[in-house]
Amino acid sequence: MFIQAITLFPEMFESITCYGVTGRAKQLGLWQFETINPRSFADNKLGYIDDRPFGGGPGMIMMAAPIQAALKQAGTRYKNQQHNSRIIYLSPQGQPLTHRKVIELAQYDNLVLLCGRYEGIDERVLQTDVDEEISVGDFVVSGGELPAMMLMDAVLRLIPGVLGDSLSAEQDSFADGLLDCPHYTRPSEFQGMVVPDVLLSGNHALIAEWRLEQSLRRTLARRPDLLDGRDLLPQEAELLQKILSEREQAA
């Protein structure tokens, strides 16, 4: 996968390109990354790429021309794969980033991530050059770089070889539509708290059932919306009914 970021602060991306599983995967050539600074396309000596908003108001707006020129340059770097690319603007006004969307984005060969600053980007370039807007949550941060790195990390985890164990991504929260179950490691007792006996039993069938039940319990308690409209498998339906019955008895 080839990812490009249109950003005023290219150095910020060193945290994902140089460290952790994503940094190691980049060193192995499993993905490539480049940045393009829109200041390179400023039409003034001082490198300004922002101006006051029409209609008044606080802050500054990133101008259309430098952003459009940066996106055009990104298009020349697709390495003949323009048919399988996506230009994404990280924005609080975008569609929420979900695991389903991450799976979709992982199928692309090229992603161009547009990172805004100030009060945003001139709407005209968003209308003509951007494929979609994506939000990482209902909050506002100072720029699109951190959201872009969150998106990158989520997508890259699904690229074969990035994680040491392919099952890690499959067992993450949301991978099967449920929150993840609790996890434990050595020692078996810590500050008076012990690991559930089933995890020490060696019975893999019972362990799998326990983990599924815990995922259902956690999802029901923390994100019940994830269960709305879900087509439950027979085992899931049985375990969920057990959990609900326990709740009714305890009420």
Instruction: With cut-offs at 50, 70 and 90, classify the pLDDT of residue 77.
Output: confident
Lowest mean pLDDT among 48-52, 89-93, 175-179, 203-207: 175-179
Q: Kindly report, residue by residue over 8-18, the tens digit of the pLDDT.
A: 999 999 999 99
Per CATH, the architecture of 2-156 is what? 3-Layer(aba) Sandwich (3.40)
Q: How confident is the model at residue 249 (pLDDT cuts 50, 70, 90)?
A: very high
Determine the pLDDT at residue 5.
98
Q: Is residue 39 scored above 60 in pLDDT?
A: yes
What are the domain boundaries of the chain?
2-156, 189-250
Does residue 83 have a pLDDT over 90?
no
Is residue 34 over pLDDT 60?
yes
pLDDT score for 171: 63
Q: Is the pLDDT of residue 99 over 80?
A: yes
Confidence of residue 193 (pLDDT cuts 50, 70, 90): very high
Return the percentage of the chain with pLDDT > 70, whole number: 94
Report the pLDDT value the prediction gives residue 30, as an integer from 0 to 100. Answer: 97
In the prediction, which pLDDT does 126 show? 97
- Rounded mean pLDDT, 228-247: 96
| pLDDT confidence band for 118 (50 / 70 / 90) | very high
- Region 105-117: mean pLDDT is 96
pLDDT of 97 above 80: yes
User: pLDDT by residue (tens digit) across 141-158?
Assistant: 999 999 999 999 999 999
CATH number of 189-250, picked from 3.30.460.40, 3.90.1150.10, 1.10.1270.20, 3.30.70.270: 1.10.1270.20
> Average model confidence (pLDDT) for the chain?
94
Note the pLDDT of residue 81: 54
Which residues are annotated as catalytic?
A: 92, 119, 157, 172
Query: What is the full DSSP assignment across the chain?
Result: -EEEEE-S-GGGGHHHHSSHHHHHHHHTTS-EEEEE-GGGG-SSTT---EEPPTT--SS-EE-HHHHHHHHHHHHHTS-S-GGGEEEEEEEEEEEEP-HHHHHHHTT-SEEEEEE--TT-B-HHHHHHH-SEEEESSSS--S-SHHHHHHHHHHHHTTSTTSSSSHHHHHTSTTTTSSPPPP---S-SEETTEE--GGGGS--HHHHHHHHHHHHHHHHHHH-GGGGTT----HHHHHHHHHHHHHHHHH-
